[in-house]
Amino acid sequence: MTNAERPKENQFDVVIIGGGMVGASMACALASLPIKIAIIEAYPFRSNNQPSYDARSIALAYGSKIIFETLGLWESLQQNATPIEHIHISNKGQFGVTRLHAKDENLEALGYVIENRLLGNSLLEKLNQYSNIHLICPAKLDDLNIHDDYAELNITQNDQAIRLQSKLVIGADGGNSKVREIIDIPEKTKAYKQTAIISNVSPGKPHDNIAYERFTNQGPIALLPMSDNRCSLVLTVNDENKDEVMAMDDTLFLQYLEERFGFRTGGFKKTSKRHAYPLSLMRIEEHYKPRAVIIGNAAHTLHPIAGQGFNLGLRDVAVLADTLANAIVEQKDVGETSVLENYAKLRSKDQKKVAFITDSLAKIYSNDFFLIAKARSKGLAVTDIMPTIKHRVAKEAMGLAGKLPKLSRGLPL
C-alpha cells in the first residue's frame, strides 16, 4: 500500500509514543492546534479514585502549575494539590540552613504536591475532551521507518499489526525509550551507586506545608507535604545498604529514618509500603533525528535531589508545543528538521543546567570530607542571609528562570 493509498484514519500530524504524564501533557498542549494527534500507550488508561495511604506523589514546581493552568487543567488539580509554602534545606551535623518562603516571592506557594493517579486522571479527562486526539492503547511500537515526508510506525494492538504514518513522532516513552533506540540516539548514563527508597510517612507534628531537603553522608532525604498530614518521602541510601533498609519492618524503618533525618517533624508515626529505585544520570547529546524528537525521561533522567525530573520534562512539553505552533503559523511541516533543530537549541541550556546542578549537588552533599562539609554548610548559611541569592535559588526551584515559552508565561499557543 502506498502512502497516498493509506487509510486517512491511520494518518496523523503528530504521534506521541508514551501516554504517561509527559506524553499526555504533550497531547494536551498541542490539542488547540489544527493538527491530528495520536498517543500510543502500552498500558490501558485507567481511572482509580479510591484514596490510598500508599499513593505516590509528584512535586510540581510553581512554573509547572502555570503550564497546567494555561492548559485548563489546574482547576481540576487544585483541590487535590497540597501547597509547598516553605522549603527548608539543611545539612546533618552542620550549622548551615537555607529557608525559602513563598511570601518572599509574592506567591501563594513555591510549588505543589499531588498524587500521581489524580494528576493522571485529570490528564485523561482532558484528553477525552478533544476530538483531534486519538488514544491507541494498549498498544506498543514495534518499528519506525523514516521517509522524506513522513514517518511510518508499525504498532501492535490486540495482537493485530497496524501501520500508521505521521509527520512527526514524539518519543515520550521513558528512560528505556523504544523510540530513542530505533532512531539510534545514544545515551550517556552514570550510575550514582545509590538507591531512592520511596514511601509516604506521617510526621509526629503538623507538616505546616514545609518541604524538607536534608543532606546526609548517605545522600539526601526529601520530605514533601501531602494531604491528611502525610509526607512523601524520598530517602537516598548507598546501594550496599539498600537490601538491609528494605528488609526492615515498619518500626525499625521509622527509627532508621529518625536517626538520619532528626526530630524536626516530631519523629515519624506511620509509613506506607516502600519502593526502591536505582539512581543514575542519563543524558543524550542529540534530541532529534529526521521526523522524530525525544522529550521527558526519554531524553534525561536526573538524581531526585532537587525534585526537578518531571518539571524539566514538562518544560520540554511547553517549549516543543511553542515551537510546533510557530511552525504551523509559518506554514512549515511540523516534522521538518529545521523545526526540530530550533526546539533542541531552545531546550539545551535548561537541560544542561539542571543536569549539572543536580549532579553537582549529589556529589557535594554525599561527600563527608571535613573541608567540603564545612564549605557546603557555610554556603547554606550565606544563601539564607542574602536575599538576592535566595531569590535566584527560588526561581530555579520554581522553574521560572531564563527565557520562558508561552505556556510557562500563562499565554495560550
Instruction: State the CATH number of the domain containing residue 61.
Output: 3.50.50.60
Phi, psi of 258 (to 5 degrees): -65, -40
pLDDT at 402: 84
Helical spans, DSSP H, in 71-227 = 74-78, 116-127, 178-182
List the grid coordinates of 202: 506521617
**Total tally of structural domains belonging to the chain:** 1
- Crossing angle of helices 387-398 and 370-385, in 10° steps, is 100
Torsion angle of the four alpha carbons 73, 78, 80, 81, in this order, in degrees rounded to the nearest 10: 110
**41 is in which domain, residue-wise?**
8-189+280-409
Dist CA 128 CA 135 (whole Å): 9
Name the strand (E) or helix (H) holding 382.
helix 370-385
Instruction: Decide if 175 contacts 297 (C-beta within 8 A).
Output: yes
Q: Is 69 helix (H, G, I), strand (E, B) or coil?
A: helix
Burial pattern 371-392, b for ≥16 Cβ within 10 A else e, equals: eebeebbeebbebbeeeeebee
Assess if residue 363 is contained within a domain. yes
How buried is 246 (Cβ within 10 angstroms: 0-12 exposed, 13-18 middle, 19+ buried)?
middle
pLDDT at 219: 83
Assess if residue 197 is contained within a domain. no
Assess if residue 20 is contained within a domain. yes
Instruction: Decide if 182 contacts 197 (C-beta within 8 A).
Output: no
Assess if residue 238 is contained within a domain. no
pLDDT at 216: 84
Instruction: Decide if 306 contacts 391 (C-beta within 8 A).
Output: no
pLDDT at 354: 84
pLDDT at 55: 76
pLDDT at 367: 53
> What are the residues facing 202 on neighbouring strands?
270
Assess if residue 230 is contained within a domain. no
pLDDT at 306: 64
Assess if residue 142 is contained within a domain. yes
- From the first residue on, what is the mean pLDDT of each consecutive set of 10 residues in the chain (413 residues)? 56 97 97 97 72 80 96 95 94 78 94 94 95 95 96 95 97 96 95 94 97 87 95 95 97 97 95 94 93 96 80 96 97 97 94 82 59 54 61 82 92 94
pLDDT at 2: 43
Q: Is 129 helix (H, G, I), strand (E, B) or coil?
A: coil
Q: Is 141 helix (H, G, I), strand (E, B) or coil?
A: strand
pLDDT at 355: 83
Assess if residue 214 is contained within a domain. no
pLDDT at 3: 43
Instruction: Decide if 303 contacts 281 (C-beta within 8 A).
Output: yes
List the grid coordinates of 187: 545515551
Q: Is 412 helix (H, G, I), strand (E, B) or coil?
A: coil
Instruction: Decide if 383 contacts 393 (C-beta within 8 A).
Output: yes
- 3-state DSSP: the chain helix, strand, coil percent, rounded to 5? 40, 30, 30
List the grid coordinates of 374: 564545612
List the grid coordinates of 28: 494536551
Assess if residue 306 is contained within a domain. yes
Strands 300-301 and 275-284, sheet pairing: antiparallel
What's this model's pTM, rounded to 2 decimal places? 0.91
pLDDT at 4: 44
Q: What is the largest CA-CA distance in the chain?
A: 71
List the grid coordinates of 328: 504551523
